[in-house]
Structure 1
Amino acid sequence: MRQIGIPEIEDIALGAALLGAGGGGDPYVGKLVAIGAVKEHGPVTLLEPEEVPDDALIVPIAMMGAPTVLCEKAVGGSEYKTLYDTVSGFFGKPIYAFMPMEAGGVNSMLPIAAAARLGLPLVDVDGMGRAFPELQMVTFTIGGGSATPMALVDEKGNSCIFKTITNKWTEELARAVTMACGGSVSVSLYPMEGAFMKRYGVHGIVTRSQNLGTAIRRMKEVADGTPEEEFFRFTGGHKLFRGKIGDVLREVRGGFNFGKVMLEGIYEYKGRQAYVEFQNENLTATVDGEILATTPDLICLVDTETFTPVPTDALKYGKRVLVVGLECFPLWRTPEGLALVGPRYFGVDTDYIPLEERCKGGRG
C-alpha cells in the first residue's frame, strides 16, 4: 500500500504511454484529468493485489472510443459517480476499489481520477499489460470472465448498462452506443471479485509504468553508456528501426483510429524503409518488406532524443523516432491469447512469431 500523488502521476502517465504501444490516448490529456482530481481530493491509495479481500468487488474504469475524439471532448467529473452507482446498485454491494483496464496515456489515468473523486483505493493490476483496441481483449476473457454488467456514460449524462451473451457482443453493442454518443464514453466493465483479479490480472502494472516513466525522465542523467543504451537496458526492448516520419495515413472508422506511418531510415538505417500499421495501437512493424514485430508484442515509437513515447494520434511528418519492440505478457502467447489478439485476428497475413525470434533472423 502506498500513495499516488502528482509526482507519481507524472511518471505513471509517461511510462504507461510507452506500454500503450501507440494507443491509449494522449498522455497529456489523461494526466490533466488525474492531476485535477488529486488536487481537489488528495492522493490515491494504491493497493497490491494481495491486499484485496477475495470477495471484494473490484471494477475497472476506462474510456472507450477513438483517442483523438477524447482529446476534443475531454472527461468531466460526474461520470465516475454515475458508473459507481450503476454497478454497485446492480450487485447490491459497494465497490471496494477501482483498477485500470489497460496501460495507456488515458486509461492509466482515468481510474486514478475516479478513485480520487470517490475516495476509493486503486489496485496495482490491469487486464492487458499494455493496450488493445477492443474490450474483449483482456486476460480476464481468457479466464472466462464476463465484460458485463458493463456501465456506460457520456459527458452529457446519458447512461446505460449492458448484459450480453459474450464479451465480443459487448464490444459490438457498446461500440455502437459509443459512436451514437459522439465517439468516446466512460465505462466500467469486467466487475470481478478479488480472487479472480489476483489469478488472471497483470500484477504490478501501475508500478511498472511509474518505474518506466521515472527512467525515461532521467535518461539524460545516465553515468555509464549512452542514453539509448540505458533505455534498451532498462526496458528490455529490441531496436527495430530509426527513422524520420515521411507520411502518416490516418482515418477514424467505427470508433477506432486506423492508419499507417511511413518511415525513412536515418543514421545506421539510412537508405532503408519501414512502416508501422495501427488500429489505435501499433499492430505490425515492417522493415524493408520484412515483418520484425506483430501484436501481441508491443511496438512503440519514441522520440530519438528524449525517448518520450509518441502515440499514434501524435504522429507528424518529419519527426524522428525509434521503433522499439517490447515482449508481451506471457499469457498473450498462449493459443487462447493469440486467438484474441494475434496478428490474424487483425487481418495480418502471418502467424505470430515472438519478437525476440523475429529480431534474431531479421535485419532490424
Structure 2
Amino acid sequence: MSRLHAVREADLDAIAAGAVVLGCGGGGDPRLFVEMLRPLMTSTSVEVIAPDQLPSGAMIMPVGIVGSALALEEQLPSGHEFADTAAALTRWTGKRPTAVMTFEGGGLNALSGIAAALALGIPVVDADLLGRAMPRLDHFSLAAAGLELCPVTLAQPGGLITVVDGVDVLGAEVAVRSLIGRTSGWGALAIASIDARTVQEACIPGTLSRAYELGQHVGTLGSWREIAESSGGRVMGTGRVRAVRRSRPNAGDRRGNVILEHDSAVIRVEFESEFLTVASDGEMIATCPDIVTLLDVRTGAFVSCESVHQGQDVAVLVLPGPQWWAEDVSRLKVVGPRAFGIDHDAVLMEAQ
C-alpha cells in the first residue's frame, strides 16, 4: 500500500470514495466533508505523518464526529467545532496537541482528521482507532488495549461545549450519547491526547492511505465485478434482497438484518449502523472487524444499511480488516461479533 504524505484538494474525492467502502454501509456520507473542505484547500494542503515517523515528544489528539449523520446534514458544521473542542480539551488537560488523527477511518469521519488538522494548523496522523466504521466509542482500539478515553470534550453546534471526565470507556460512551441525544443530535468529539508510542502500539496504522488507495480504484469503476476485483475483496454471494428488518433502538433492539437469496442458499447480513456479519444457510462466513459491504449489481454503487431495500439485487463483498485486531485474540472481544450480541467467534479473511 502506498502511503500518503500530504492531502491536497485533488485527493479528497478518492479519500471519500474509499471511506464509503470502509464505512461498511454506515458512518455517514463523506461527501459532506469534501464539500466543506474543497474551498478551503484550493491553495493549501495538510501534512500526513505515518505513526512510525512521529517524534518521541509528539502528542496526538483523536477527533471525530459523533451522533446522527442525518442531524449533521440538517444542521451543518459552522467550521469552528473542531477548534473549539480541541481548545477545551487543551485547557482541561494542559496538553497541547502537535497532531491530530481521526478516531474512525470509515464514513464521513475518514475526513474529520483532515478537517481538524486544517482548523488547528497541525498535521494529521495516518491512523485511527477502528480501521473501519463502527457504532460506539467502546469499540476503539484504545479500549481493546486497556486504555481510557477520558477526558473527552464535545463541541456541539450552537456553541455548547461539554467536558466528560472521571468515567471509564463505557461511561464515556453513555455520557456522550446521552448529551447529543438530548441536544443537537451531533457534536465534534476530542479524546485525551496520546503519545507517539501509544499511537504506534494501540492504534490502527495506514487507514487514511488505505481509504485513498481504495478510492483511486473504486471511484473510477462502474461495474461491481471490477470494483470487487480491484478492491482485493471476496464476493460472498450475489442475489435479490428478500427481506430487510430494521433495528429498533428505542425498543432495545439495535440490530437489523438483510436476507437475500444466492442460488439455492439464503444469505443473512446482520447490521447495527454498519454491516457486521455474513452467514450462508446458517454458517458464518464473514464477520467484523473485516470490511463487510453490499454493492448494487446494477449501478455498482455501495449500498448503505439505511438504503438497502427489498427487491434490490446486491453483491456481498468482504475485504480484510486491519491486521492489528487479529494479532491478539483478546482484542476481538471489543470488535468481534460478540461485541454486538452475536454468539459466534470472529471469522476473518486472513485466517481463512
Normalising by structure 2, report the TM-score: 0.88
Q: Secondary structure at the match of 1:108?
A: helix
Match of 1:145 among 128, 142, 147: 147
Aligned residues: 348
Cα deviation for residue 99 of structure 1 reads: 0.7
1:328 aligns to 2:321 (yes or no)? yes
- Whole-Å Cα distance in 2 between the matches of residues 344 and 262 of structure 1? 19
Mapping 1:36-47, distance limit 5 Å: 36-39=39-42, 42-47=44-49
Which one of the candidate residues 203, 206, 230 is aligned to 1:204?
A: 206
- Look up the match of 1:224: none
Deviation, structure 1 residue 160: 0.8
Q: CA–CA distance in 2 between the matches of 1:32 and 1:271?
A: 44
Q: Secondary structure at the match of 1:302?
A: strand
Per-residue Cα deviation, 1:208-259 (whole angstroms, up to 9, x for no partner)? 1101000112336xxxxxx6565444433121121233443335636x9945
Cα distance change, pair 173–124 in 1 and its aligned pair in 2 (3 A): same
The equivalent residue for 1:296 is 289
Q: Relative to structure 2, which stretch is displaced further, 165-174 or 241-250?
A: 241-250
Deviation at 1:171, TM superposition (A): 0.9
Partner SS state of residue 110, structure 2: coil
Q: Secondary structure at the match of 1:214?
A: helix
After TM superposition, the structure 1 = structure 2 runs for residues 75-86 of structure 1, keeping only pairs within 5 Å, are 75-86=77-88
Residue among 225, 235, 240 paired with 1:239? 235
Say if 1:110 and 1:257 are closer, same or farther in 2 by CA, change over 3 A.
farther
Specify the alignment match of 2:244 in structure 1.
248
Q: CA deviation at 1:4?
A: 1.1
Q: Which residue of 2 aligns with 1:223?
A: none
Over residues 152-198 of structure 1, what are the superposed CA-to-partner deviations in whole Å (9 max), with x where a residue is unaligned? 01111111111133211111111111211233221011421122112
1:344 aligns with 2:347: no
CA distance in 2, matches of 1:123, 1:326: 23
2: CA distance, partners of 1:91 / 1:350? 40
Alignment map for 1:172-191 (pairs within 5 Å): 172-191=174-193
Amino acid corresponding to residue 162 of structure 2 in structure 1: C
CA distance in 2, matches of 1:349, 1:143: 22
Asked if residue 7 in structure 1 is aligned to residue 10 in structure 2, the reply is yes
**Cα distance between partner residues in 1 of 2:238 and 2:77:** 35
Q: Compare 194-203 and 316-325 and name the one that shifted more.
A: 316-325
Counterpart position of 2:23 = 20
CA distance in 2, matches of 1:36, 1:168: 38
**% identical equivalent positions:** 27
Q: Of residues 265, 272, 296 in structure 2, which corresponds to 1:279?
A: 272
Shift in Å, 1:20: 1.8
Provide the C-alpha distance between the structure 1 equivalents of 2:184 and 2:268, rounded to a whole number of angstroms: 30
| Structure 1: distance between partners of 2:199 and 2:30 | 26
Equivalence for 1:113: 115
CA distance in 2, matches of 1:243, 1:73: 37
For 1:6-64, what per-residue CA distance to the aligned partner results, in whole angstroms no more than 9, with x for missing partners?
A: 2211001111211122221122223223324435x732121222332222221111111
Unpaired runs of 5+ residues, structure 2, are none
SS at match of 2:270: strand
Query: Aligned pair 1:68/2:75, yes or no?
Result: no
Q: Is the 8 A contact 1:245 1:261 kept in 2?
A: no
Instruction: Out of 302-311 and 15-24, give the one that drifted further.
Output: 302-311
1:354 maps to which residue? 348
Q: Confirm or deny: 8 A CA contact 2:285 2:347 kept in the other structure.
A: no
Deviation for aligned residue 1:129: 1.2
| Partner SS for 2:346 | coil
Query: What is the DSSP-based 3-state SS (H/G/I as helix, E as strand, rest coil) of the residue aligned with 1:219?
Result: coil
Query: Alpha carbons of 1:243 and 1:27: their partners in 2 closer, same or farther (altered >3 Å)?
Result: farther
Q: In the alignment, is the contact (CA less than 8 A) between 2:15 and 2:212 conserved in 1?
A: yes
- Give the secondary-structure state (helix, strand or coil) at the position aligned to 1:29: helix
Give the C-alpha shift of residue 306 in structure 1: 5.4
Compute the displacement of 1:316 (Å). 4.0
- 2:32 is paired with a residue of what secondary structure? helix
